[in-house]
Structure 1
Amino acid sequence: MTDNSAYVIVGASLAGAKAAQALREEGFDGSLILIGEESERPYERPPLSKGYLMGKDAREQIYVHPPQWYAEHGVDLRLGTAVTALDPAPHEVTLADGSRLGYAELLLATGSSPRRLPVPGADLDGVLYLRTVQDSDRIKDAFSSASRVVVVGAGWIGLETAAAARAAGVEVTVLERAELPLLRVLGREVAQVFADLHRDHGVDLRLGVQVAELTGSLGTVDGVRLSDGTRIDADAVIVGVGIVPNTGLAQAAGLQVDNGILTDERLRTSVPGIYAAGDVANAFHPLLDRRIRVEHWANALHQPQTAARAMLGREAAYDRVPYFFSDQYDLGMEYAGYAEPGGYDQVVFRGDVGAREFIAFWLARGRVLAGMNVNIWDVTEPIQALVRSGQQVDTRKLADPQVPIESLLHNAE
């Protein structure tokens, strides 16, 4: 008979570690178990494609808590441990060694995995993906020995690793199926900024192309062949073509799954006593009046506070404005809000786009859905306030750098 009094968190990630912290801060003093497949204690992932990858951040800086924090707060941290099954009826999870662990409340923070490139040669040595700190170490090692790197996919991970490779002095070719990098995320008007940025820094950016095969010699990748027959030499290939939420446990246990584990605004799944947070949660967002799954650091950082309160039976709803950031070369940006493809009818720029010091706003029917500040700082809060207000704004004032963003809320039409 297993003990069903413990609160169990599956996924020793940023979300999992922050959930454990939040439960203790909310006063939960019972048994708390945090289970992770990786051998590393919980760490943050943004540095893996930014400062850590470039050698600017020390390894110790990536961790969520110091090593002693878990014992000091009574968190039973079980690393290198896989959960292989979830049985909601008896409130139990099964571990890889066959043992069963009971729970009173369960949080799934299982994250996501890199989408694999489905072409011949994808299993060759030197084909690299980025998700773990070990992945980042391997890519860093490749930069020190390679002279030519091909990056497949011009999303955030692809572009950030391309920037890191150029900083290391490596020749870089980026291959992207779409007409522009980040086209689906940013739209044509803003995506062009990132195409120009990478070309200005010497990246061979090839758009509208499709990878047909990765070629190799003696089991190691040595190039990429495109669908038109073009071959590009490479000492290493980095693949960044998206991620897939790790929903296997949930789906096998009968939880509702659709592009992630479905939850309400309290991060409760379709099965009582089970919650989800972070990359894996496709959560109802009260502000947006729809479910969204956000694959960014801010969700993993903040959602666990809501999940912890809900697990303790307290009122909670996750309604923070979505947020993410990126650093590439001399461009730093922050994005707040949510503007899906086809969901906006206007993009308004404030500032100097050519100098890469501007704010872009995505609007629908005069209402700001999202804003992205590029090399302009301390404006995230007013941008989020505009998004949250849902008010129509004067677009002439929105485009005028002399008009404080804060004042637009008071001068809304």
Structure 2
Amino acid sequence: MSNTEQTVIILGAGQAGGQCAASLRRNGFEGRILLAGDEPHPPYQRPPLSKAYLSGEIDESRLWLQPPETWTEQSVELRLSSRASAIDRTAKTVRFEDGSEESYTQLVIATGSRVRTLPVPGADLDGVRYLRSIADVDALKADFAPGKRIAIIGGGYIGLEAASVALKLGAKPVVIEAMDRLLARVAVPEMSDFYRQAHESRGVTVRLDSQVAALKPKSGLFGRGKTVTGVELSSGETIACDSALVGIGVIPNQEFAAESGLETGNGILIDEACRTSDPDIFAIGDCAEQHNWLAGKRLRLESVPNALDQAKRAAAAICGSPAPKPEVPWFWSDQYDLKLQTAGLIGDHDSTIIRAGSDETPRSFFHLAGGVLIAADCINDPQSFMAAKMMIAKRAKPDPAALADPEVAMKDVMKAALAGA
């Protein structure tokens, strides 16, 4: 069948779905493309939501992946405010919640993930916020005002980025983390300590080892229309607040894929081409679990670079084009004037080498396993980040002493390591 007679339906109009649609056209796909999303907005970037968009530095239009009219020029049909409810793999149709159905030749699931809700009494009070969509941030902006007390529940990247914006706008953030350090699931203790000190020195209150027992309204009685005024900890202490932002992770949107019989784990299981257990159905982005060439095992990566890479792979497979070369996973976070760039995956590292001078930054943390560089966290240190990406890709063994010495140029550390790789 010529691809002019084919229909690709993409479920999820985020960065993964939008990139897949654009890549299909760039790879010469001439058939019908239907891009369906459950939000009223055209495909947009999520990372700026907790940074520049929340702070008011950019407006909504700066979030778009491309101007809305470009989708029309590319003959991509946008079906917004539309959620899929079921897949009939035998009939090759998708049913939507409004009762309508669409037929597909290939289906791409890019449904992303949803926030993990706080399982405590009072979690449904007014003023309890989450940060995942444009609508979420629009609701948050009124809370990030001078003098407002904001309880941020969760000391991961979303919570810390929000805390930095809150402080910048004159609010009074308190970060409440259940574990004994910030970024406990994604960073080594040395980097956790760096960010704790960075936030506290700028005026953020950080509470570690603090489990939330309940969110409390002013009257102490729960009920319709009540607003959160405090976070009660398991110790019995209550931290007063005007609003609470919850950032305790996300859950992959894979349920309806599983209901259709697709294989799932911690996400929809896909192969190197992003195919699911059904050869005509692909999955990409936060909802997908794939074997990672660097880690040597299946992972579900929540990152923009991973979403874009998988989108390009799925589009290439649909069009019969060569797949892009695998890329070293990378991530980033902006907090205050601190730009973190992470390359690789910490995994089973057995040592961490810190490269730092006398000032707060630049500062980098290099993670090695058996002498091989497998990951790096670089703060205001783009040279180290770029060099680390290249060394990780080649599984190089840099000289530990040179890595730790800021007087040795990173390009020289890299050249020596790659020469011996």
- Which range, TM-score by smaller chain? over 0.9
Amino acid at match of 1:48: L
Contact 1:303–1:318 (CA under 8 A) maintained in structure 2: no
Deviation at 1:317, TM superposition (A): 6.0
Q: Per-residue CA shift, 1:374-399, capped at 9, x if unaligned?
A: 11124433211111111322211222
Q: Quick check: 210-219 or 238-247, which moved more?
A: 210-219
Matches within 5 A, 1:285-324: 285-316=292-323, 319-324=326-331
Match of 2:416 among 386, 393, 408: 408
Match of 1:232 among 234, 239, 256: 239
Deviation at 1:95, TM superposition (A): 1.0
Gaps of 5+ in 1: none
Match of 1:348 among 348, 353, 376: 353
Task: Please give the alpha-carbon distance, in whole angstroms, between the structure 2 residues aligned to 1:79 and 1:199.
Answer: 42
Task: Please give the alpha-carbon distance, in whole angstroms, between the structure 2 residues aligned to 1:4 and 1:152.
Answer: 50
Helix, strand or coil at the partner of 1:219:
coil
Contact 1:82–1:96 (CA under 8 A) maintained in structure 2: yes
Contact 2:216–2:229 (CA under 8 A) maintained in structure 1: yes
1:376 aligns with 381
Helix, strand or coil at the partner of 2:179:
coil
Contact 2:146–2:170 (CA under 8 A) maintained in structure 1: no
Amino acid at match of 1:294: L
Deviation at 1:20, TM superposition (A): 0.3
1:358 aligns with 363
Contact 1:394–1:412 (CA under 8 A) maintained in structure 2: no
Matches within 5 A, 1:147-226: 147-217=148-218, 219-226=226-233
The answer to whether the aligner puts 1:259 opposite 2:266 as a matched pair is: yes
Q: Quick check: 308-317 or 9-18, which moved more?
A: 308-317
2:19 aligns with 18
Deviation at 1:4, TM superposition (A): 8.5
Deviation at 1:146, TM superposition (A): 6.0
Task: Please give the alpha-carbon distance, in whole angstroms, between the structure 2 residues aligned to 1:377 and 1:64.
Answer: 25
1:77 aligns with 78
Amino acid at match of 2:416: L
Judging changes above 3 Å, is the alpha-carbon distance between structure 1 residues 74 and 369 closer, same or farther for their aligned structure 2 residues? Answer: same
Amino acid at match of 2:373: V
Deviation at 1:145, TM superposition (A): 7.0
Match of 1:334 among 341, 348, 371: 341
2:222 aligns with none
Q: Quick check: 127-136 or 138-147, which moved more?
A: 138-147
Contact 2:396–2:418 (CA under 8 A) maintained in structure 1: no
Amino acid at match of 1:52: Y
Q: Per-residue CA shift, 1:340-367, capped at 9, x if unaligned?
A: 3xx1110011222751311210111100
Gaps of 5+ in 2: 219-224
Task: Please give the alpha-carbon distance, in whole angstroms, between the structure 2 residues aligned to 1:58 and 1:411.
Answer: 47
Task: Please give the alpha-carbon distance, in whole angstroms, between the structure 2 residues aligned to 1:257 and 1:318.
Answer: 25
Q: Per-residue CA shift, 1:29-80, capped at 9, x if unaligned?
A: 1011000010011100011000111111122111101010111000011001
Contact 1:267–1:277 (CA under 8 A) maintained in structure 2: yes
Q: Percentage identity across aligned positions? A: 38
Helix, strand or coil at the partner of 2:185:
helix
Q: Per-residue CA shift, 1:315-361, capped at 9, x if unaligned?
A: 42662111111111121110010013xx1110011222751311210
Task: Please give the alpha-carbon distance, in whole angstroms, between the structure 2 residues aligned to 1:118 and 1:226.
Answer: 13
Helix, strand or coil at the partner of 1:180:
coil
Judging changes above 3 Å, is the alpha-carbon distance between structure 1 residues 42 and 410 closer, same or farther for their aligned structure 2 residues? Answer: closer
1:280 aligns with 287
Q: Quick check: 109-118 or 82-91, which moved more?
A: 82-91
1:60 aligns with 61
Q: Per-residue CA shift, 1:85-126, capped at 9, x if unaligned?
A: 011122111011212111111111000001000000000000
Helix, strand or coil at the partner of 2:265:
coil
The answer to whether the aligner puts 1:245 opposite 2:252 as a matched pair is: yes
Deviation at 1:256, TM superposition (A): 1.0
Contact 1:106–1:275 (CA under 8 A) maintained in structure 2: yes
- TM-score, structure 1 as length reference: 0.95
Name segments (4+ residues, structure 1) moved above 4 Å: none
Task: Please give the alpha-carbon distance, in whole angstroms, between the structure 1 residues aligned to 2:86 and 2:69.
Answer: 29
Amino acid at match of 2:274: L
Deviation at 1:5, TM superposition (A): 3.0
Amino acid at match of 1:188: P
Deviation at 1:373, TM superposition (A): 1.2
Task: Please give the alpha-carbon distance, in whole angstroms, between the structure 2 residues aligned to 1:336 and 1:209.
Answer: 30
1:144 aligns with 145
Contact 1:146–1:236 (CA under 8 A) maintained in structure 2: no
Helix, strand or coil at the partner of 1:43:
coil
Q: Quick check: 345-354 or 161-170, which moved more?
A: 345-354
Judging changes above 3 Å, is the alpha-carbon distance between structure 1 residues 219 and 146 closer, same or farther for their aligned structure 2 residues? Answer: farther
Amino acid at match of 1:369: I
Helix, strand or coil at the partner of 1:200:
helix
Contact 1:49–1:160 (CA under 8 A) maintained in structure 2: yes
Cα RMSD of the aligned pairs, angstroms, is 1.7
Helix, strand or coil at the partner of 1:183:
coil
Q: Quick check: 316-325 or 279-288, which moved more?
A: 316-325
Match of 2:394 among 389, 395, 399: 389
2:221 aligns with none
User: How many corresponding residue pairs?
Assistant: 409
